[in-house]
Amino acid sequence: MADANTTKPSVVLLTKAGELMEKIVSLCKRRGFIFQSSEIYGGLNGFWDYGPLGAELKRNIKEAWWRSMTQFRDDIVGLEATIIMHPKIWEASGHTSTFADLMVDCLLTKKRFRADQIEPQSGIAYSYTGATDGASGKESKDSFSVLLPPGKPPESARKVAKQFYQLRGVENATLLGERTEQIKDTTRYNPENGSLLTEPRPFNLMLETYVGPVKSDENKSYLRPETAQAIFVQFKNVLEVSRQKVPFGICQIGKAFRNEINPRNFTFRSREFEQMELEFFIRPDEATEAIYGSIATPSGPGHPGEPQPNWGWQMWHQYWVEERFRFYENIGLPRISLVEYWQKPDELAHYAKATVDILYKFPFSKRDDKGELMGEELEGVAARSDFDLSQHQRYSGKSMTVFDEELKAAWPKLDDAKKSALSQSYFESRKKYLVKMGESEPKAEKQARDESEALSKGYYIPHVIEPSAGVDRLALALICNAYGEDQAPDEKGKMETRVVMKFHPRIAPVKVAVFPLLKNKPDLVKKAKEVRDLLRPHMSVFYDEAGAIGRRYRRQDEAGTPFGVTIDFETLGEKGPELQDTVTLRERDSMKQDRVKIADLPQRWRATIR
Ligand code: GAP
């Protein structure tokens, strides 16, 4: 079975892009960025391990994100919650009922596909009503059909159909009732062998487990499919202890699990992965308008600048989209490699007001009519209204409302028309939500009226903007973006192809490599180790004394180490006192070499590596 746990992880590769991806996948293994999980047992589809360089890369990504969210801001605090949580959480969030992809199975091979990932095909469909075996008298009345691309002989359809009936015990099958039909843009056939697929049916992506010694339905639980829900359920606790006021955010980094039907494109779609999620809680627009008289809305594209108290949800949403682009650029993904994709109304979750996906142009991304890479999702920035907290309020019976002193003070000063307009708008949005969630009309009306009344006293359920990113996808994007080949001279001065990983120093797994020119000169080795120890408290350092210096440089180029420091005879003062205690500093991308004082090294890269 294609999806069995013992199959090798699939790397779906396209022709030219495939070649590049093959090189990247091979480098990841060779240099210890990414390995197949459980490789010696044949791998486990959708699971990946990070080797020494990959582990450092991932840590650097997470640290950069965490620092940008917490250390550099006053209005966001962190959380670290458990992977397994109360199963009711997933009922409230909608995951148990709706977190599903449509899947289809090949009727011949049983290979499973995600229905939306089947490319439309055209050709002639050969259909059969059954088959018999004259010799044994066996027969099958199962109907079956095969799609043949234009130009293929009918025999190939019959061959596939006979295999289908053989699997049903009809050995020497005579096919019955052959019919042909021209078909355009269908997704009902296996693109690999033309066999008909099963009807699409939903497949819940949550991985189940049991908590406690008894494997019963009451003990069934789930590995979280996203980190976000923990933030919502701990919202009140965090609010109480952190002395934050809306608008403020709670962020979390952690593992998430999805039983993806078709893990593919290396680590892009995995079954175990990490997310970096922020839930940024804001006032409902009605509250902001009551306090500030009007709400600020975007005047055009681009970063709207420092947050202002009169911002409505659209400003906050645009702000977070732009902040997230800045983050990616800051760790080395050029703006031109990214795409801002606004989800269309029919793609939006029913509760979302807007969602922008930030895409990276992976080599395996599809191309548009002009041949441009369209990109694949790195992150979604969603304006999720007050849906999540409202759901947890309904399911847990615990209030998720906050009290807003400024709103309470502002409300009595509004004129009656304004009071009535804001109350009505809030009432309508709350009623819409309640009815959508299945409350009866009168009950929804009463509750929405009460909530609208509470608004006038300063109480509301906050709305949320959610930038939600994947660590592994970002690591893959950074690896793809860093991969380069150029020409560099070998030991004898002959030009050869150099593979170089041009990571931004901020996320490079190793920042600097330290080399003694020769390993059999104790003074050089001693000095080189002194330099290594001097740098270690400030950055990750790799010490290497094995092999010719050119080969050592190449190894670090492949690892993506931005700087190399060589301790040579000049360093020891053998070429005059003015060069004593200086080193050769080699820059990875330009391969330019400079003479630099050892004492200046620790401070030299401070700004670029943090
Ligand atoms: N809380 C919202 C949420 O989970 P999502 O779009 O399903 O939204 C957010 O996931 C991010 O998590 C994606 O943009 C992607 O980077 C990452 N992600 C989701 N599924 C993944 C998978 N199967 N493998 C790797 N990363 C994944």
Question: Number of C-alpha atoms within 13 angstroms, CB side, residue 119?
Answer: 6
* Token reading at 163: 């295999």
Residues 520-534: tens digit of each pLDDT: 999 999 999 999 999
State the pLDDT at residue 10.
36
* 435, 441 contact by CB (below 8 A): yes
Residue 88, pLDDT above cutoff 90: yes
Please name the amino acid found at residue 479.
I
N-to-C CA span, the chain: 46
* 259, 14 contact by CB (below 8 A): no
- Ligand 1 within 6 A of CB of 381: no
State the pLDDT at residue 394.
97
- Ligand 1 within 6 A of CB of 277: yes
Residues 112-159: tens digit of each pLDDT: 999 998 999 999 999 999 999 989 999 999 999 999 999 899 999 999
State the pLDDT at residue 12.
39
For range 280-297, the mean pLDDT: 98
- The residue whose two tokens read 């809306």 is 246
Give 270 Cα–ligand 1 centroid separation in angstroms: 10
State the pLDDT at residue 60.
97
Give 393 Cα–ligand 1 centroid separation in angstroms: 25
User: Bridge-partner residues for 122, per DSSP?
Assistant: none
Residue 178, pLDDT above cutoff 80: yes
State the pLDDT at residue 221.
96
Sign of CA dihedral 492, 493, 495, 496: positive
State the pLDDT at residue 7.
36
Residue 3, pLDDT above cutoff 60: no
4 pLDDT band (50/70/90 cuts)? very low
For ligand 1, mutation pick of 273, 351, 360 (most atoms within 8 Å of CB): 273
* 275, 469 contact by CB (below 8 A): yes
Sign of CA dihedral 225, 228, 231, 233: negative
State the pLDDT at residue 493.
82
d(CA 56, CA 32): 11
Residue 183, pLDDT above cutoff 80: yes
Give 469 Cα–ligand 1 centroid separation in angstroms: 6
DSSP-derived letter for residue 179 is E
* Omega cis (within 30) before 247: yes
State the pLDDT at residue 52.
98
Q: 359: which residues sit within 8 A by CB, 6+ positions away?
A: 338, 339, 340, 341, 365, 374, 375, 376, 377, 378
Mean pLDDT over all residues of the chain? 94
Residue 100, pLDDT above cutoff 90: no
DSSP-derived letter for residue 462 is P
For range 375-397, the mean pLDDT: 98
For range 61-83, the mean pLDDT: 97
- Ligand 1 within 6 A of CB of 378: yes
For range 306-325, the mean pLDDT: 98
Give 269 Cα–ligand 1 centroid separation in angstroms: 9
State the pLDDT at residue 15.
46
Overall size of the chain counted in residues: 610
d(CA 408, CA 404): 6
* 279, 466 contact by CB (below 8 A): yes
* 555, 500 contact by CB (below 8 A): no
Could you tell me what percent of the chain has a pLDDT over 90? 92
Residue nearest to atom 7 of ligand 1 (CA): 226
CA–CA distances in Å: residue 173 to residues 81, 135, 152, 159: 59, 10, 21, 10
- Ligand 1 within 6 A of CB of 79: no
Residues 214-244: tens digit of each pLDDT: 999 999 999 999 999 999 999 999 999 999 9
Residue 8, pLDDT above cutoff 80: no
Give 286 Cα–ligand 1 centroid separation in angstroms: 31
d(CA 464, CA 310): 16
Please report, to the nearest 10 degrees, the dihedral formed by the alpha carbons of residues 203, 209, 215, 219 taken in order. Answer: -100
Residue 14, pLDDT above cutoff 50: no
State the pLDDT at residue 16.
67
Give 61 Cα–ligand 1 centroid separation in angstroms: 16
- Ligand 1 within 6 A of CB of 265: no
Q: 183: which residues sit within 8 A by CB, 6+ positions away?
A: 122, 123, 124, 125, 147
What atom in ligand 1 is closest to the CA of residue 277? Answer: 1
| Selection from 466, 274, 469, 277 nearest residue 388 by Cα | 466
DSSP-derived letter for residue 546 is S
* 236, 223 contact by CB (below 8 A): no
State the pLDDT at residue 1.
27
Three-class DSSP labels, 278-333: EEEEECCHHHHHHHHCCCECCCCCCCCCCCCCCECHHHHHHHHHHHHHHHHHHCCC
Sign of CA dihedral 513, 518, 519, 524: negative
d(CA 425, CA 596): 66
Please report, to the nearest 10 degrees, the dihedral formed by the alpha carbons of residues 405, 406, 411, 414 taken in order. Answer: 170
Residue 2 exposed, middle or buried by CB count within 10 Å (0-12, 13-18, 19+): middle
State the pLDDT at residue 5.
36
Q: 79: which residues sit within 8 A by CB, 6+ positions away?
A: 230, 231, 234, 238, 250, 251, 252
Residue 6, pLDDT above cutoff 70: no
Which helix or strand (DSSP H or E) is residue 383 part of? strand 376-383
Residue nearest to atom 14 of ligand 1 (CA): 379
Cα 441 versus chain centre, distance: 39
Three-class DSSP labels, 86-152: CCHHHHHHCHHHHCEEEEEEECCCCCEEEHHHCCCEEEEEEEECEEECCCCCCEECCCEEEEECCCC
Give 470 Cα–ligand 1 centroid separation in angstroms: 6
Residue 373, pLDDT above cutoff 80: yes
